[in-house]
Structure 1
């Protein structure tokens, strides 16, 4: 693992891929923007397949993995371009179904959900009763804002009411924000982080937690000696998680950090700006690349 600001700036994965046995890809900000794939991403996945490099997906998406796969297919990203696809929602879903973890075992049946309809797959086959008020709930599931363009402040009264009852909250997406179709919007993590500030009990699932990588690697079994490369765009999730797991990571600088780095997708930032951001966040990267490209 490269330490500090000692990293390599590259123009594409083809420059370094011979060093690796497999790749773990983030989705939002790397492969697509939640609406359409980035112009170079499908070509890069096709090139990885042609080069014989297995690919797994690990995404902080608060829904079942099958929903993520279906959405990728709708975008024109063929299923044969990658192997295991793990959404953070699937990790939470598995825990909810099993309820063997002590935190999950204590949850009651009555759940109030905060988030869009597209995340309802989290309740498939679950022994829960969905309720509409904090007063009726045993716990909260937050998968995102009810409306994509809500601010965190919209949920302030709800969060205070939940804290007054000490309701536990499950957040299967630690991301604070994402770029969707060119617009910056909040994610579940922003709401859950505010609840934590208020003293609320939050259970997080997804990157950067080690459990997310463990879940993915169990499905993507390349053996203990395999050399893996993670490709992601977020320092707080993709890079932090890779650092914790001891994996090499290529930061797509044209993703969530493009604006603060002053370098649009497909271009590399000034090294000084990237060094300053890495020092400020305490993160380490192996490579910087302007886009997920070959």
Structure 2
């Protein structure tokens, strides 16, 4: 049964490393969450290593710049693994061909910048849909619009047998007080329409492989039983941790704050009902990372 805790420090001594989700845990899409920053600083001061494990479609440097903008200090983390980098590696290995149709916003164009760690990378060209070998999606064209506006293009893509590379498996995120669609929602719609979607972020293995490599780059050889995964997404953070056989800490005050009746802490009965409905079993739960 999931144990409700009040502070990360109650359990952190059991773990040498933490895989920490960003949006909804460390920041709200606008600014840093102070209690989370202090908790991660304290964890690092006690000897723990923090890997920020995010489904952001941005490269690692782009996420680092965003953290600076939001006020998340470098002292709160050690390294970053992004869904964007995991998906970019697959793209440059040619999984959706050389000519790709891009679904996303202009701010995500750095996704296509060269990735020099890939040997003999594919040459990627952005093309109209009718000339494309595949699709890369970093999110909808308009994160606030009804996804149905994409149906005509997705139907044409399905008819042409194109694969869709999803750079961010999240369905929604909360930016401050506003909920936005993510690339995962587009990929889900495409799959429902009969198309094929490829995923590289949480809960899928490629991003965890990247996170383990990031730990190794720091000289940390950490057994899985000594890693704690922290996040507010049941079908991304918690399901992914379960798939990797990692203990997990569910932050209930993020995406599921209504369902778990979270004020300072989740309501125990509401939390149990919600987790049963989601078919997940995190090791721990708390309202806000602190």
TM exceeding 0.5: yes
1:1-294 pair list within 5 angstroms: 6-99=1-94, 104=95, 107-125=96-114, 127-131=123-127, 133-221=128-216, 222-225=220-223, 227-264=226-263, 267-293=264-290
1:15 and 1:41 map into 2 onto residues whose CA distance is 14
- For the residue of structure 2 that corresponds to 1:258, the secondary structure is coil
Cα-to-partner distance string for 1:59-94 (whole Å, 9 max, x where unaligned): 001121110011111222222431220110100111
Does the CA contact (< 8 Å) of 2:20 and 2:51 recur in 1?
yes
Cα-to-partner distance string for 1:256-283 (whole Å, 9 max, x where unaligned): 111222224xx22221111111111210
Cα-to-partner distance string for 1:20-41 (whole Å, 9 max, x where unaligned): 1111100011001122112312
Question: Any stretches of 5+ residues in structure 1 without a counterpart?
Answer: 1-5
C-alpha distance 236-290 of structure 1, shift in aligned 2 (>3 A): same
Q: Which has the higher contact order (CA 8 A, sep 6+)?
A: 1
Does the CA contact (< 8 Å) of 2:57 and 2:138 recur in 1?
yes
- How many Å apart are 1:224 and its aligned residue? 5.0
- For the residue of structure 2 that corresponds to 1:274, the secondary structure is helix
- For the residue of structure 2 that corresponds to 1:96, the secondary structure is helix
2:54 and 2:241 map into 1 onto residues whose CA distance is 13
2:206 and 2:77 map into 1 onto residues whose CA distance is 21
C-alpha distance 204-225 of structure 1, shift in aligned 2 (>3 A): closer
1:229 and 1:161 map into 2 onto residues whose CA distance is 42
What TM-score do the two structures reach when normalised by structure 2? Answer: 0.92
> RMSD over aligned Cα, in angstroms?
1.4
How many pairs does the alignment contain?
279
- For the residue of structure 2 that corresponds to 1:259, the secondary structure is coil
- For the residue of structure 1 that corresponds to 2:258, the secondary structure is helix
Does the CA contact (< 8 Å) of 2:24 and 2:255 recur in 1?
yes
2:278 and 2:102 map into 1 onto residues whose CA distance is 32
1:98 and 1:192 map into 2 onto residues whose CA distance is 20
- For the residue of structure 2 that corresponds to 1:45, the secondary structure is helix
1:83 and 1:96 map into 2 onto residues whose CA distance is 26
| Greater mean deviation of Cα atoms: 170-179 or 215-224 | 215-224
Give runs of ≥4 in structure 1 deviating > 6 Å.
none
Cα-to-partner distance string for 1:122-176 (whole Å, 9 max, x where unaligned): 1102622112x32122211111111221221121111111112111110011111
Does the CA contact (< 8 Å) of 2:259 and 2:271 recur in 1?
no
- How many Å apart are 1:98 and its aligned residue? 3.2
| Greater mean deviation of Cα atoms: 222-231 or 243-252 | 222-231
- How many Å apart are 1:110 and its aligned residue? 1.5
